Amino acid sequence: MTTSSAWSVALLGMDARPVEVEASITSGLPRVVMVGLPDTALYEARDRCRAAFAGAGLGWPSQLLTINLTPAWLPKSGSHYDLAIVAAVLMADEKAPGDVGRRCVFMGELGLDGCTRPVRGILPGVLAARRVGFDTAVVPAVQYREASLVEGVTVWPVADLADLVEVLHGRPVLARSMPQDTVDVPAQRLVGDLCEVKGQPEACWALEVAAAGGHHVFLHGAPGVGKSMLAQRLPGLLPALDDESALEVSAVRSLAGIEVGGGLVRTPPFSNPHHNASMAAMVGGGSRVASPGAISLAHRGVLFLDEAPEFSPRVLEALRTPLETGEVTIARANAQVRYPARFQLVLAANPCPCGMSGVPGGRCTCAPMSIRRYNDRLSGPILDRIDIHLRLMPNLAGLVDSLSGDPTAVVAQRVAEARERMSVRLTPVKCRTNAEVPGSVLRRMPRPQGTELLDDAMRQGRLSARGYDKVVRLAWTLADLAGRQVPDREDLAGALSLRQDEWRAAA
Ligand SMILES: [Zn+2]
């Protein structure tokens, strides 16, 4: 009997655990037995690997081959174990020495011709391998650059099984004809400039405040007033992602099967799921592989829900926990899958199903009951978590051409300066933006002037306890934008006006 083993990783969202793939060749009828909780895709690896051996002109062991994946209790899925399986088989069959292969972590799928195929999650997989002490990763050649984004790990690319045999002999075939330089890639092309939004100075200002403080925004108003235009322009106002955030955003994209390419994603992402989106599409999950959902693809960027009342109430309620914790946990058999989801939420809604309620000169054809039902689809707890509530009015005739605000680049500069002031104050309390500051920390900060304005609003029932804190956070952002040390009365009044809940009043 000969036995050998190679390492791979099981991906559990952003976390990963090392998995040892053991191969044992014993006398017996020539067949392959696979044990250790493999799923269907993994079970098929048996046939894929055998075909790949034949395709590469290598002989498959002609005895009983047992492949065991440990730890056995951990469910394993996906096709990325192929490379570890064939490495273990090659070593057990004494076609390669065992010393080099034992030190590497293997991730990659094989085609029937023996060539390697790209797999999801290379970046988080290699990150996890580094965490548990591996310093060498063997990956499909086409994913060499993605794996190389992880510092401190040597990456050996393999284009086919012949390359793998070389690697196991300690003779890696280094990046044939692959450029070594990395370039930062945009998460998506930025859409439009803020100065294209005409006749909405208040809304542009609110967007600037939202960008500076990381505040959530609710925009409501008639169709065509520019709600989507504004939302699409928010990522352009946000600062570029720092190294840690860029690595997280790139890792989520890798897990979603979006090509990461040769550089980290530096622009804040923009995710705008359709209102028919299922629970799994929104928060993540799925029957086979727990993929990240739209909220995780918005991590460190913007989640835009257009026509928010049309989303399923269950889907909207599912946003509550990530809004508080910045992550989402999906329960799977024997394991929990965790994805980051710290996003800036932008909700947009029409005033009523037909869109004309409260619009000057418009004629609403909705029954009062249907307007009420439409309004109630956005629950109090969700709206209470949104910092800025803004009602957009249609452009007045004649203003369309005359009024346009500052271009994106100018506003982004002011946002960056405000963030700078914020970080001096918030770095000691481990927050990045005013919106993230916990209530307990907020109350230890200097008291803004004019808080009696808020006490009045609370007494009149216009402000909840959570709303009170949100207004104070907004006031800090206004002070940061204005370069003031502590918010003054004007900042507080400005913050309060950004949180007028006219949503139900508009109906
Ligand atoms: Zn209507």
299-308, 403-412, 418-427, 431-440: which has the minimum mean pLDDT?
A: 403-412
Q: What is d(CA 255, CA 20) in angstroms, rounded to the nearest whole number? A: 21
DSSP codes joined into one string, 225-280: SSHHHHHHHHHHHSPPP-HHHHHHHHHHHHHTT---TTS-B-SPPEE---TT--HH
Cα(348) to ligand 1 centroid in Å equals 16
Cα(307) to ligand 1 centroid in Å equals 14
Which residue in 228, 207, 210, 260 sits closest to 406, CA to CA? 207
Give the other-Cβ count within 10 Å of 404's Cβ.
18
Would strands 109-110 and 116-117 be described as parallel, antiparallel, or unpaired?
Answer: antiparallel
Give the other-Cβ count within 10 Å of 466's Cβ.
11
Please tell me whether residue 50 adopts helix, strand or coil conformation: helix
Cα(76) to ligand 1 centroid in Å equals 51
Cα(17) to ligand 1 centroid in Å equals 53
Q: What is d(CA 199, CA 401) in angstroms, rounded to the nearest whole number? A: 8
Is 187 a residue whose pLDDT tops 80?
no
Percent of the chain with pLDDT over 70: 92
Cα(197) to ligand 1 centroid in Å equals 25
Q: What is d(CA 437, CA 143) in angstroms, rounded to the nearest whole number? A: 39
Cα(359) to ligand 1 centroid in Å equals 10
Residue 288 banded pLDDT, cuts 50, 70, 90: low
Q: What is the pLDDT of residues 455-500, one digit of tens each?
A: 888 888 888 888 889 999 999 999 999 999 999 999 999 999 898 7
Cα(370) to ligand 1 centroid in Å equals 9
Q: Which residue has the tokens 């199903």?
A: 353
Cα(485) to ligand 1 centroid in Å equals 45
Cα(305) to ligand 1 centroid in Å equals 20
Cα(313) to ligand 1 centroid in Å equals 21
Structure tokens at 297: 């693809």
Kindly state the DSSP code that residue 292 receives in the 8-state scheme: E
Q: What is the pLDDT of residues 45-62, one digit of tens each?
A: 888 888 888 888 888 888
Cα(364) to ligand 1 centroid in Å equals 4
- What phi-psi label fits residue 461: left (phi over 0), alpha (psi between -120 and 50 degrees) or beta? left
Percent of the chain with pLDDT over 90: 46
What pLDDT score was predicted for residue 499?
Answer: 84
Question: What is the number of helices (H) and of strands (E) in the chain?
Answer: 21, 18
Cα(362) to ligand 1 centroid in Å equals 9
Q: What is the pLDDT of residues 360-397, one digit of tens each?
A: 888 889 999 999 899 888 888 888 889 999 988 887 65
Please tell me whether residue 338 adopts helix, strand or coil conformation: strand
What pLDDT score was predicted for residue 271?
Answer: 94
- Name the CA dihedral angle for 210, 343, 468, 374, rounded to a multiple of 10 degrees: 90
Would strands 302-305 and 327-332 be described as parallel, antiparallel, or unpaired?
Answer: unpaired
Q: What is the pLDDT of residues 311-355, one digit of tens each?
A: 999 999 999 999 988 999 888 766 788 899 999 999 999 999 998
Residue type, 67: I
Residue 408's contacts (CB-CB under 8 Å, 6 or more residues apart) are 190, 193, 194, 195, 233, 236, 237
Give the other-Cβ count within 10 Å of 452's Cβ.
10
Cα(495) to ligand 1 centroid in Å equals 30
Cα(357) to ligand 1 centroid in Å equals 5
Q: What is d(CA 417, CA 239) in angstroms, rounded to the nearest whole number? A: 10
Q: What is d(CA 253, CA 142) in angstroms, rounded to the nearest whole number? A: 16
Cα(464) to ligand 1 centroid in Å equals 29
Q: What is d(CA 96, CA 116) in angstroms, rounded to the nearest whole number? A: 19
Cα(219) to ligand 1 centroid in Å equals 17
Phi/psi at 344 (5° precision): -100, 120
Kindly state the DSSP code that residue 362 receives in the 8-state scheme: -
* 133-136 LR contacts (CB < 8 Å, sep 24+): 134/7, 134/18, 134/103, 134/104, 134/105, 135/103, 136/103, 136/104, 136/105
Q: What is the pLDDT of residues 56-113, one digit of tens each?
A: 888 888 899 999 998 888 878 878 999 999 999 999 988 888 888 889 999 999 998 8
CB 44 within 8 A of CB 32: no
Cα(223) to ligand 1 centroid in Å equals 11
What pLDDT score was predicted for residue 190?
Answer: 67
Q: What is the mean pLDDT of the chain?
A: 87
Residue 287 banded pLDDT, cuts 50, 70, 90: low
Q: Which residue has the tokens 């044992």?
A: 24
Q: Find the mean pLDDT for residues 406-434.
A: 93
Greater pLDDT, 501 or 436: 436
Cα(226) to ligand 1 centroid in Å equals 18
Cα(21) to ligand 1 centroid in Å equals 62
Cα(373) to ligand 1 centroid in Å equals 12
Cα(71) to ligand 1 centroid in Å equals 59
Please tell me whether residue 162 adopts helix, strand or coil conformation: helix
What pLDDT score was predicted for residue 484?
Answer: 93
Q: Find the mean pLDDT for residues 170-191.
A: 61
Is 23 a residue whose pLDDT tops 90?
yes
Q: What is d(CA 134, CA 300) in angstroms, rounded to the nearest whole number? A: 28
Cα(231) to ligand 1 centroid in Å equals 23
Residue type, 70: T
Cα(129) to ligand 1 centroid in Å equals 56
Cα(365) to ligand 1 centroid in Å equals 5
22-26, 37-41, 317-321, 430-434: which has the minimum mean pLDDT?
A: 37-41
Cα(366) to ligand 1 centroid in Å equals 4
Is 158 a residue whose pLDDT tops 90?
yes
- What are the chain's domains? 2-168 (3.30.230.10), 194-413 (3.40.50.300)
Cα(507) to ligand 1 centroid in Å equals 9
What pLDDT score was predicted for residue 397?
Answer: 54
What pLDDT score was predicted for residue 404?
Answer: 72
Q: What is the pLDDT of residues 121-141, one digit of tens each?
A: 899 999 989 998 999 999 999
Cα(201) to ligand 1 centroid in Å equals 26
Cα(232) to ligand 1 centroid in Å equals 26
What pLDDT score was predicted for residue 39?
Answer: 77
Cα(278) to ligand 1 centroid in Å equals 27
Cα(355) to ligand 1 centroid in Å equals 5
Give the other-Cβ count within 10 Å of 379's Cβ.
12
How much of the chain is helix, strand and coil, in % rounded to 5? 40, 20, 40
Which residue in 195, 184, 188, 157 sits closest to 173, CA to CA? 157
Cα(501) to ligand 1 centroid in Å equals 19
Which residue in 444, 502, 498, 500 sits closest to 212, CA to CA? 498
Would strands 64-70 and 15-26 be described as parallel, antiparallel, or unpaired?
Answer: antiparallel
Cα(473) to ligand 1 centroid in Å equals 34
Q: What is d(CA 55, CA 111) in angstroms, rounded to the nearest whole number? A: 9
What pLDDT score was predicted for residue 44?
Answer: 83
Cα(89) to ligand 1 centroid in Å equals 68
CB 343 within 8 A of CB 295: yes
- Whether cis (ω within 30° of 0) applies to the bond prior to 140 is no
Q: Which residue has the tokens 């004809």?
A: 177
Cα(354) to ligand 1 centroid in Å equals 4
Phi/psi at 131 (5° precision): -60, -35
